[in-house]
Structure 1
Amino acid sequence: MKKTVLAHALTVAFSATLAIGGHAYAASNSAGSVGGRAAIGTVITLENKEIGLSRTITVDKAGTYSVPQLPPGHYTLKVKLPNGQTEERAVEVQAGEGSIAHFEDSARVVVTGRVTRIDTKSPESSMVLSKAAIDRLPISRDVTAVALLAPGATKGDTRIGQTALRAGNVPSLGGASPAENVYYINGFNVTNSLNGVAFNQVPFEGIAQQQVKTGGYGPEYGRSLGGVLSVTTKRGTNEWKGGANVIWSPESLEGSSVYAEKSPTTGKWNLVKRPGGTDDLQANLWVGGPLVEDKLYFFGLVQGADIKRETYGVSTQDTMKSSTPRFLTKFDWNITDKNLLEFTAFSDKTKDKQYNWDSPVPYGTTKGTDKGVDEYTTGGENLIGKYTTWLTDDLTVSGLYGVGKYNRKSNVASAACPYVQDNRPTTPVPMGCATATSITDPNANDKRTAWRLDAEWNLGNHGLRFGADNEKYEVVDGTEYPGVVRYIVRTLADGGRLSNGYVNTSGAPMDYIDARTFKNGGQFTTKNSAYYLEDNWQVHKDVMLSLGLRSESFENLNAEGKTFIKVNNTIAPRLGVAWDVGGKAQTKVFANAGRYYIPVMSNTNVRLSGAELDYRDFYAFNGSFGTDKFELPGQGAQLGSRVTTSDGKAGDPRSVVDPNIKPMYQDEFIIGMEQALSDRWKVGIKYTNRKLKKVMDDVCNNEGAYNWAIANGYSDAKANVLAGAIGHCFLYNPGGDLTANVDFGDGNGLTSVTIPAKDMGFPEKPKRTYNALEFSFERAWDGKWSLGGSYVLAYSRGNTEGYVKSDIGQDDAGISQDWDYPGLMEGANGFLPNDRRHTFKAFGSYQVADEWRVGANLLVQSGRPVNCLGYYDGNLDGVSIEYGSASFWCNGKLNPRGTLGRLAWTKDVSAQLNYSPKWQKGLSFQAEVLNIFNERTVQAIEEAGETGVGSPSPSYMQPVGLQNARRFRFTAKYEF
């Protein structure tokens, strides 16, 4: 028996090597599949008349069949059994999912597909919504809002991915940080790989389907520890169709804008109304149809916008205007019945203009001095080509090539003005003429050039799949403070200590200036490649076993084009099993285990391998601000010495990174069950365990390096050289041994030095675990009503969030302040920012009458943990204090992560009313209210609790992230 099993395994492996892949029931992120069992010799024809696609196959001797790489849509499945019996059914093909249809004999014909909504051949955790389903729900019109309907999805901190004009809007999926998802459009990766917290988007009206994978995805997917968000766009059909709509969210009906004000008696923060809001008017025009019937199709969409947002602050006010058009176009060419060519082009490039004024009255509408106009450009153009060929009934190959651009340009009128802010009041007050907190390189942009190849080969009980992909990501980036220096006025309590060691011994509180100089930038390149192999083995007619392997390679280059990180062939195994209990596609038990890697983000190139200048000086404040346009705070005597973090010089690429470094990766285990009930119902239960196994971040612990060197016989001079090499900030895997290439100036060039993990001084190794128990339910739309939802009990715990640090709103992927020094990590283990213990979601729609439909969406979710971050006052090192309010030491004691309570629960109810009059076919009117009760729950706070050791911060606990105000949205649409 052992010889037989071994021979079989070798045969499968050898066949896979020759085959370049395949999967009997595979579904890519831009296509679907139909497969199942049938009597040998059964002839099966799948036809989609809308797009002129027809595929006919004959069931092989194994009694199974598969039709992969099908464009999403409505198909007619025609079956001719060997005994002559015929059957015809409708099957809905969804992108990223497999529809199951069994025809085993003349007595039992079962077609499942999208009727039961259970893909019994897949162990993945996935949610797919068509545009029609999305339109029946009152949600924001963006990809993140759709993703947040999925179980285990949580909205990330609004400071993560924040631009100058817009709050961050990225989800946390399955306990991962918001920077650890991957985004696709028509199979092309559109993730902004600078730091992972932005992505290109097609106009929302151009979406045909959106899929959200929250776990257990196969080896064709990588570069993600959170989830996979995939959009399939609309396309032309054999019938010319088109339409237009107008969507308006008026400012006059929006819930009041608010600001946070601290009560002088209770010390609590209250939300106070102020003027301002957003008026959002958008219009879409689209058309699609056959340029050549059954052969060549076209779809095109243009979106126009007129958006105006007014903001009134404590000392400034601004008006943002945006009117840049966006577009989407898609061509589909059925070259033959077995060859399909697709081309997609879209742009989400947006130019926003911000008009700025001083405000004579806090939060008032009277305009003061004109401070100029700033212009910001985001997004860009994307071109995607895909070719699919069905070489035989059993072998399908597809190839994709794309180029994507993402702008991050700025043209700030006040770029020469230093940023000045008075932090002595409870609400910080901007004082200078600067209109931006930081300035981006006017030429900042990103460009991705990528290709991928996927193939599927059906060998009866074995479905072999193979794929390879490669992408080159080029970045132009640079950031500096306006006027190069940022000035913040703070108060230091009597006896308080600054980060440079200066102690206030005056006998009274004193005001001081924190002057920070920061500047970096350059041009950088990142290269990522991968290949995968998977065997989907039908070990029993009702049991599918998926055995997969993915190998990924990463290479990061510095501004001179020299490699400073290169990791080849990381191995990520994937194992899944799906059991169709009873063989009727009604009950599925599934489980999977896998390893997932994420690439080294380009932000690491910029911050680590580029030239970066970063230092702080401290001065006494004389109580006055300048009278010229720069309004610089009056500087008194310098307090203590300068604190230098980076000297402005780029280090040797070989000396800034551990040569043995491994990318960040995570292991995952999922087990669950889905049950189809009568009348289109489905329920499920699932347990997920995710554990971060390797972290990649920078360390700056020069003290630890110096002490180790002295203890191991190095001279003081060499120990200082080693300390300087690490203190420049050095990239490695925290928790492990650190190997550095150091030039000691002895004529021997670079010398390899290894410092054991225990001598790095960190109190714990990196940890991040996510455990969740999920209950879900769904009742599919039948033209009358639908309902879906979930309850998730989740625990997200550890001492690192991952690629971002939501505690302080830092989205420096791979270069966060975590792990810089041991003191910053003391007390860091606890419940993480994305820990939401309880989450209940419910959403659905109901056709009240022929012309009237209603929809609703409900979210109830517990709040995030609260921390107090302060100046380090422990004894693990003497440098962490220089980071300011950054450690879990606060107000004289250690407050471990998440031990100071939680924020309030979020409760959000939204509703929709749709009227489609019979008197004009294709015409509809829709009114929606998002957040009906105008709940303004605080979802993030200022967690910095000190302005110096022993000096409580007046802005601690100030709300910095709120639930969106109530919004009304009106839509008029006509389709033909």
Structure 2
Amino acid sequence: MPQLQPGSYRITLQRADGTSAVREVSVNLGTGTPVNFTSASSAGATTLDSVVVTGAQVVNPIDVSSVESTTILTAAQIAKIPVLRDATSVALLAPGTVRGDTAFGNLASFGGSSVAENQYYLNGFNITNSFRSLNFAQVPYEAVAEQQVKTGGYGAEFGRSLGGVVNMVSKRGTNEFTAGGNVFWSPDSLRAEVENTYYANPLVPGDLGKLRQDNSEDTLGGYSTSIWASGALIKDTLFAYGMLSYSEVEQDYWGSVVSRTNNHESEKGDPTYLVKLDWNINDANKLEFTTLSDKRTTTTASYLNTVGQVNRGPLVGTSYTENGGENYIARYTGYLTDSFTLSAMYGYSEFSRSRRLKTASGVNVEYGGDLDQPASGCPVITDVRPGYRTSVTGVYASSCNITGGSIDRIDSGDERNQFRLDLDWQVGDHALGFGYDRDDYESIAGTSIEGGRIWRYSTNNGPDRTANTTDDFDVVREQIVNQGATVEVNQEAFYIEDNWQVTDTFLAYIGARWDTFENKNGQGETYVKIENQFAPRLGFSWDVNGDSSFKVYGNAGRYALPLTPSVAVRGASASLFTRQTSRFTGVDPVTGAPTGLFGTGALSYINGEFGEPKVADTIASQNLDPMYQDEYILGFQMSMTEHQNIGARGIYRKLKAAIDDNCDYTPIMAIEGFTFDEDDLTWYDSAGNAAALPSAGFPYCRMFNPGSDAVFLTDLYGDGTLKATTVPGALLSPEAKRTYKALELFWDGSWDKYFFQASYTLAYNKGNTEGGVKSDIGQADTSVTQDFDYKELAVDSYGYLPNDRRHSLKVFGNYSFTDEWSVGANLLVQSGRPINCLGVLYPYHGDIHPYGSSFFRCGTTEAGGADGPAEAVPRGTAGRLPWTNSIDLNVAYFPNWAPGLKFKVDVFNVFDNQKVTGVTEVAEDATTGAPLNTYLVPRSFQAPRSVRFMVQYDF
């Protein structure tokens, strides 16, 4: 019975002789549930008057009808173990998942892929925020009935993912009326202090061991409360479930002692809700509707701080950030015949990403998206002058800049329209599935530097190019970066699959998927279109003993990933990036901006971004393939007893093609016969004609498949004529590489009062690219990281990747030692990630490479390379972070004197282990190559010990 809602069912078999048999079963999300009515003998069946089934809690049945690697946790199981109540925390319980870098928020890496390569679903609707694929709708967790985590081998109906799939189904109403409410409270007073950070670079002995960040005054606490009700609006026909939730988090973050404005208070709070309606029109037709709101606002107040101290000065301003929005899902299921089922789903969602600021005096600071009108407010100030200059003039800084960076345009947000049609047809031994999936995504996006610009102060060493106090003088560089556009990605797919029951015990899976991806820029023009990308899927499941007690399975598949819409905002649409250097006579004491500008140099447009629309056909290689990966899995599951299962599987994933950008246009010029004139800084062809660089048809950065030949269209002379140039892949970059090899062992058991799951994963994650994002430097520009911008950036980049956690041990479970008391536990032991040493590249055309400290080499101590080129430090060879371990415990009380009342206390990280989970990996100054004292400074620790209380009442 395809498309059946998860839940508990009673199956009755009525025999011709008047006898019957009954089975009670639990149907879980996305898996098969066998129901066995076989009897000892046919003779026995003819004389049997009745079948009596005694219920018993047994381990989850082995699903011999599936070739996928999945972990399913129900709401009842999640409630019994100490785990944070969000989709990522629950997904991290599954084998093969590790927590991603904190630079990208609370996200998981699946099977060695980056955190930007997963998909998230609710009731069949894609709730992934596809703008950068670094967010998803936050479903109120009290409303989740089950969460399925697909870590590999999933069928052709799922796509657009190289990592994993998190598939959630919401609770729903039944004929029985139920209602309830709860409160979760996490007090700051019971939270352990966060570790301080200290300078750790041994190459800067003067600062080694000094305090960098004092966290002793940090606070974090909050609560959430929910109420819900469900039941039948019309008995047996129309059912409803509704839940309303509100949460609030308060945080004080005092931060770095070297910063002037790094303290703030935050609180989140917006009511969220979920409503699910189910209408059984008749036995053959069903209609469902789900609406979800997860809109939330984060309010951050920033204060001045005295450098070198931990204090709180005057308010600078307040930031208001919106995230989340509304989701609407409608689904029809028709059992058109006994063997043919149709399901049609339409979903619509809105997601806000807007940000506005307000100064201490109440003046709004915002960016409207117009390139010619940058963000208002006070500018960002950077002072990189040497100490002998700042000791005389003082440090230049702003006392009114709130963020120290860029802000999103006020109307930033996303809109999704998704439609899918799924059909299931049982033809003899073949369970055929086929369908169509359409997903259109539109994003309004853009950023501008707060205050419209960065003023960067530096020192010119004068005519003798030597630092001294006689002829040195200060200069200031103005940098403006504005971008804003409405961009789209249109995706569609067709799939077909066959679950073929070759014999009573052997199932063969054959599937295929064809994906089409089309990306449009801010002018509505297509700059990338990949049609009918073929993704075959093959698998088998062998029920060795014929009774679902021993399963051997395997699969092989190809999975493709589209470009995110974020790529087009700057890379394919109009954007503005300018720099201009001046001298100055004074500095505004409040804003930090220079006054009395003179000696202003020429205005430079960086990367060809001069505020005009780009020519769509020039943005990407004409033979671009999507990012895709091949995967192979072989495993088994076996019932040791009625209450215990064990299993193992081996996994191999290999990235076959990646998409990234390359910003080195010199191979095109060389192939087309141009030479560079050092005197006038212009490219000329053999006839003496000058190239129009930059121009709207000559972008600096272009999308390509690293390592593959690329066909670029270029307007070489600015006359509107596009010339096709085939650039050999070897001239642009090496091939993108990423592999994941893992062995997973797992064991789960369940008795009347006890259940547990345990897994151990041995994994190797190696390559020269992490994928969509870059944890080495926290770069969240999905699909356009700096990995392959220049060929030199990929030198020595092959090694163990940031998501390589060699060993992972996970154990969780619960024991009810009476009908009133239970205890739960959650253990995680994991090895640390590899560390890099990133420095400058010298010599590069007689100077330091313009990408600064982005290369896998360290040791340059002076601009110009006085001590020679740096030593290579290949990826992942600068050490490893320490092993982490944490134990979470809970105790729950269900008093018999008050049925429906529940109390629970969760203690996370009981022994307060705060090992380092991330460090700064940039070791050298980007302009001089000198060692940085911030190298190896911790960026993140394990979360400190905290306590959460819960009280709940159900009736």
TM-score, normalization by structure 1: 0.86
**CA offset at residue 917 of structure 1?**
0.6
For 1:890-969, list aligned pairs within 5 A.
890-891=858-859, 892-947=870-925, 948-969=927-948
Counterpart secondary structure, 1:932: coil
Residue in 2 that maps onto 1:147 = 91
Conserved 8 A contact 2:331-2:344: yes
2:722 aligned with 1:759, yes or no? no
2:354 aligned with 1:417, yes or no? no
Letter in 2 for 1:742: T
Q: Deviations over 1:755-808 (max 9, x none)?
A: 122333x2x21100111111111113x441111121111111111111101111
For 1:260-271, list aligned pairs within 5 A.
260-262=197-199, 267-268=208-209
Residue in 1 that maps onto 2:415 = 447
2:194 aligned with 1:257, yes or no? yes
Residue in 1 that maps onto 2:390 = none
Letter in 2 for 1:69: Q
For 1:160-239, list aligned pairs within 5 A.
160=104, 168-239=105-176
Residue in 1 that maps onto 2:352 = 407
CA shift in 2, pair 1:716/1:592, >3 Å: farther
Conserved 8 A contact 2:21-2:37: no
Conserved 8 A contact 2:698-2:715: no
For 1:57-76, list aligned pairs within 5 A.
67-76=1-10
In 2: Cα distance, 1:312 partner to 1:597 partner: 43
In 1: Cα distance, 2:873 partner to 2:309 partner: 35
2:100 aligned with 1:156, yes or no? yes
**CA offset at residue 307 of structure 1?**
2.2
CA shift in 2, pair 1:520/1:723, >3 Å: closer
Letter in 1 for 2:649: K
Letter in 1 for 2:901: L
Letter in 1 for 2:109: S
Which of 294, 300, 304 pairs up with 1:348? 294
CA shift in 2, pair 1:900/1:567, >3 Å: same
Letter in 1 for 2:467: S
Residue in 1 that maps onto 2:715 = 743
- Where structure 1 has 5 or more consecutive residues not aligned to the other structure, the ranges are 1-66, 161-167, 496-501
Which of 305, 316, 323 pairs up with 1:371? 316
CA shift in 2, pair 1:172/1:800, >3 Å: same
Letter in 2 for 1:88: V
In 2: Cα distance, 1:95 partner to 1:652 partner: 46
2:607 aligned with 1:645, yes or no? yes
CA shift in 2, pair 1:286/1:421, >3 Å: farther
Counterpart secondary structure, 2:569: helix
Residue in 2 that maps onto 1:50 = none
**CA offset at residue 526 of structure 1?**
1.0
Residue in 2 that maps onto 1:33 = none
**CA offset at residue 628 of structure 1?**
2.2
Which of 471, 474, 478 pairs up with 2:439? 471
2:774 aligned with 1:820, yes or no? no
**CA offset at residue 465 of structure 1?**
0.5
TM-score, normalization by structure 2: 0.88
The count of aligned residue pairs is 889
In 2: Cα distance, 1:423 partner to 1:329 partner: 54
Conserved 8 A contact 1:91-1:114: no
CA shift in 2, pair 1:748/1:850, >3 Å: closer
Letter in 2 for 1:939: T
CA shift in 2, pair 1:620/1:86, >3 Å: farther
CA shift in 2, pair 1:176/1:221, >3 Å: same
**CA offset at residue 202 of structure 1?**
1.5
**CA offset at residue 447 of structure 1?**
0.5
For 1:656-675, list aligned pairs within 5 A.
656-675=619-638
2:31 aligned with 1:97, yes or no? yes
User: Which is richer in strand?
Assistant: 1
Conserved 8 A contact 2:812-2:824: yes
In 2: Cα distance, 1:199 partner to 1:543 partner: 38
2:372 aligned with 1:435, yes or no? no
Letter in 2 for 1:153: T
In 1: Cα distance, 2:181 partner to 2:386 partner: 50
CA shift in 2, pair 1:766/1:716, >3 Å: farther
Q: Deviations over 1:428-485 (max 9, x none)?
A: 9985422222200000000001110111111121111001110110110001211222
**CA offset at residue 101 of structure 1?**
2.2
Conserved 8 A contact 1:454-1:465: yes
Residue in 1 that maps onto 2:701 = 729
Q: Deviations over 1:142-176 (max 9, x none)?
A: 1000000010101011112xxxxxxx011000000
Residue in 2 that maps onto 1:331 = 277
Conserved 8 A contact 1:186-1:232: yes
In 2: Cα distance, 1:932 partner to 1:569 partner: 51
Conserved 8 A contact 1:706-1:719: no
2:343 aligned with 1:398, yes or no? yes
Q: Deviations over 1:332-378 (max 9, x none)?
A: 0010012111000010000122222212475634x322212221100
For 1:477-876, list aligned pairs within 5 A.
477-487=445-455, 505-506=466-467, 516-615=479-578, 626-630=588-592, 644-648=606-610, 649-710=612-673, 715=686, 720-721=691-692, 728-745=700-717, 749-760=721-732, 762=733, 764-780=734-750, 782-873=751-842
Q: Deviations over 1:608-634 (max 9, x none)?
A: 111222355678999x97412346699
**CA offset at residue 69 of structure 1?**
1.0
Counterpart secondary structure, 1:231: strand
Conserved 8 A contact 1:842-1:858: yes
Residue in 2 that maps onto 1:280 = 222
Q: What is the root-mean-square deviation of aligned Cα atoms in Å?
A: 3.1
Counterpart secondary structure, 1:654: helix
In 2: Cα distance, 1:71 partner to 1:345 partner: 17
Residue in 2 that maps onto 1:9 = none
**CA offset at residue 904 of structure 1?**
1.1
**CA offset at residue 102 of structure 1?**
3.3
Residue in 2 that maps onto 1:122 = 66
CA shift in 2, pair 1:735/1:152, >3 Å: same
**CA offset at residue 923 of structure 1?**
0.3
In 1: Cα distance, 2:851 partner to 2:719 partner: 36
Counterpart secondary structure, 2:481: strand
Conserved 8 A contact 2:303-2:317: yes
In 2: Cα distance, 1:236 partner to 1:511 partner: 71
CA shift in 2, pair 1:920/1:605, >3 Å: same
Residue in 1 that maps onto 2:48 = none
Residue identity over aligned pairs, in percent, reads 38
Conserved 8 A contact 1:705-1:726: no
In 2: Cα distance, 1:504 partner to 1:853 partner: 74
Conserved 8 A contact 2:492-2:516: yes
In 1: Cα distance, 2:649 partner to 2:167 partner: 22
- Where structure 2 has 5 or more consecutive residues not aligned to the other structure, the ranges are 46-50, 360-364, 366-376, 388-394, 676-683, 860-869
Counterpart secondary structure, 1:823: helix
Counterpart secondary structure, 2:77: helix
**CA offset at residue 84 of structure 1?**
6.0
Which of 280, 287, 305 pairs up with 1:359? 305
CA shift in 2, pair 1:749/1:701, >3 Å: same
**CA offset at residue 889 of structure 1?**
2.7
CA shift in 2, pair 1:231/1:425, >3 Å: farther
Which of 236, 241, 247 pairs up with 2:178? 241
Conserved 8 A contact 1:421-1:431: no
